[in-house]
Homo-oligomer: A and B are copies of this chain.
Amino acid sequence: MERVFNFAAGPATMPLEVLQSIEKNVCNFEGEGLSVMEMSHRSKTYEKIINETRDNLKKILELDDNFDILFLQGGASSQFAMVPLNLANNGDLTYYAVTGNFANKAWEEAKRWTNAVDITNSKPDKYKFIPKIDNSKLDKSAKYLHITANNTIFGTMYDKLPEVDIPLVADVSSNVLGKNYDYKKFALAYAGAQKNLGPAGLTVVVINKKFIREDIDTFVPTMFRYDIHAKNGSMYNTPPTFAIYVAGEMFKWVIREGGVKEIEKRNVEKAKILYDLIDNSTFYKPFAEKESRSIMNVTFNLPTEELEAKFVAEAKDEGMINLKGHRVLGGIRASIYNAMTIEGVKELAEFMQKFEKNNK
């Protein structure tokens, strides 16, 4: 089969030119006689790869030297634990904006060690909007406010970061490098790589150095301490070397494409094509409220579940895969991360119009 249009929520589509560059180097990296997978992480060549990768991300996110970038393992799910274990003491007050499934998992995990309070209220509405956060109601002694910048399952996103007087922590797994936030506003932001950064198995953490603590409770595993990873340049133990290399190729692609601002513009355009079609249809029904819509995951419903199943199957036959919504919500979800082309989105839109005509 020719290359498909892959609308998966993650692991997700990658730019073909990045894959081709990896392909060219799989057996013999830049003529050095071995694969990146075979390279000692302490070798000069690999150190150049990881340093360049770190530097490029700092450049893309416009971070100064107050910030450190860590390349870790364990996914966002490990960060759900690392954040409270490192940024708070046992029993401390922490705030969580529970705006979806993963936000809820982060909150549940934080409750093991901290007095973690959910300050949102969108669950009865199936998380279809991002609630406003009222800074005046927040106890300033709280260690941080944790938000989930983009909610893949529900297709909602913070268009603007909340303005609060306590440290802001964000799970940016699904819109990092796709939505232009001011990363200097974060005490900490983390992202599983498998949406906009490359392959699963790498987690990128951006941390303001003043939040790196050494006086951590002794029961915290060494591998769950930011200070240990920061002190060792993400090489306390062997890092996921190949995944970091691929992320580096993704970062170079982002730079070639004009950076996050340019990519965000394109993402807005892509999302608009689909939302406009949905809003102008009586057949398709949008899920997320307008002001809270994600530019990464577009969620909607068809008149019946049977039609939704038919939609997913017929789209697949036309080379557009993974359009089925998450089992928690059902419906249709089109994930249109950075690497999804406008061409792919237009093809989906055409298919949607045709499907509506044939099934109305």
Contacts and interface: CB of A to CB of B under 8 A. Distances in A.
Interface string A244-261: 001000000000000000
Interface in A216-261: 218-219, 221-224, 236-243, 246
Interface string A78-94: 10111001000000000
A51 interface: no
A8 B44 CA distance: 13
Interface string A30-74: 011111011111010000000000000000000000000000011
Q: Majority SS of interface residues in chain A? A: loop
A250 to B, nearest CB: 11
A332 interface: no
A16 B11 contact: no
A19 B31 contact: no
A133 interface: no
A137 interface: no
A13 B32 CA distance: 13
Contacts of A14: 35, 37-38
Interface string A320-339: 01100000000000000000
Contacts of A73: 73-75, 78, 201, 240
Contact of A241 (B6, B37, B81, B199): B199
12 contacts: A3-B34, A11-B37, A13-B38, A19-B26, A19-B35, A23-B23, A73-B74, A74-B78, A113-B219, A199-B241, A200-B240, A242-B242
Given A9-B40, A81-B223, A81-B224, 14 more contacts: A3-B27, A3-B34, A8-B38, A11-B37, A11-B38, A13-B34, A13-B38, A26-B26, A37-B246, A73-B74, A73-B201, A76-B237, A201-B239, A242-B242
